[in-house]
Structure 1
Amino acid sequence: MISIDLNADLGEGFGRWELTDDEQLLSVVTSANVACGFHAGDAVTMRRVCELAAARGVRIGAQVSYRDLAGFGRRSMDVPPAELTAEVAYQIGALEVFARAAGTRVSYVKPHGALYNRVVHDEEQAAAVVDGVLLADVTLPVLGLPGSRLLEAAEKAGLESVTEAFADRAYTEEGTLLPRGQEGAVVTDFEMVVERSLGLARDRAVTAHSGALIEIEARSLCLHGDTSGAVELARRVRAHLESSGVLVEAFV
């Protein structure tokens, strides 16, 4: 049977401000990418999301980012490798405290936003992220874009690399994500997202922004928790996958 993990970015609030419907999304997804305080999230939010995830058997992932609360981690930044390594380890360690307190653990690491896109091509930044993972826990898988420098560096370091696809983001013909500043970068039509999800899970393919059909090998499928109507969309995606014979389960 074909299977795929369904992940979402969660805990993306700060203080009294909330962006994602964590409780509802955790009833749908199998893996939760939890903001670790650098692009969003705070100690109380991290603890709450870890407790909710543990109660539902959802795997917890550390969503590490550049230190950019004001820009939600989506602004390009030049961070020295040694500093980035320390900050990645710091974020994982912070989330691990709350995961352990909830009776579970951090199960994987996924970069966020500008850092995610940077380590697709930047070998130095990719190596720094991997070094941060190794510093925190040498057993943690790394989630990222197929063919990225990040996953190459993870494999070289002996870490498990997990490929990921996006049903609600547009792709270039090279298999990278269309930059958010370009028109059509985010797919907002629910029916299209649902169909793209099945295509990615079953056929390992998706239509690029140019109209070309490209191959995408992915073990995990991401839906953004900050999308309008994210809970309804996630439910529809999971229901369609399962009704089409796709097993939705965590990759770890």
Structure 2
Amino acid sequence: MDAVETSEAPVVAAGHIYADGDRVAEHSHGRAQLLCVFGGAVTVSTREGSWMVPPDHALWIPAFMPHGTDMIGDVRMSSAYVRPEAVSGLPARLVVTGLTSLMRSLIAEAVLLSGEDPGPRARHIFGALLHEIPHLPERPLGLPFPTHGRLAALCRDFVSDPSAHTDIDDWAAAAGMSRRTFTRAFRQETGLSLSTWRQQACLLAALPRLGAGEAVTTVALDLGYDSVPAFTHMFRRMLGQPPRSYFRGQQAVA
């Protein structure tokens, strides 16, 4: 990691392999990090919330942001560490993205080339990698947490036992607020409606289980969905594909 911080190159790449249950304690970098996952899944926790990174996705972590990382399954990942001023259009906030075919090839080659003399080919590859980052498709796999004490407690309780059935009036009463005040406060704190936040929490709970091969029916019913089609509809709306097609796509990429 010292080499990443001391390098004068605009981007440095490295590959990593972790075992299931490994944890990287909270830390930060002087560079932004594009964390690309190719096997297993990764949960990244910050003081602003939690983000899930399933296979064939990436997480953009701004420079100097403290974060801890937990591994789900045997994880293969590569990271590009980017100087914030390296190219215009880089994300200003933490965001999960999909990985384009071009980025998959660029990051794999960049890992092989890092540490070598930056010849013309390497400079072109690293330059293309930098310019591809702003074009990565954003995915709704973040789960921002409110800072308000009662709202944060409700969210933590939900994450520990997620359910598709969440009554906004019950949450408002538990927070000691009117429905209108709660709705406004929750959106101000998280940037999301309770309904959208709940769906993203359920999605983050479902992805590791589905990725590990659990049946869609089992996961859907455990999360409180009345039927598999209802769960599939939510999954398709959030990630663009039904669960079986989505994970077949990830396996094909791997």
TM-score with structure 1 setting the length: 0.30
Q: Which of the pair is proportionally richer in helix? A: 2
Larger relative contact order (C-alpha < 8 A, sep ≥ 6)? 1
Q: Which of the pair is proportionally richer in strand? A: 2
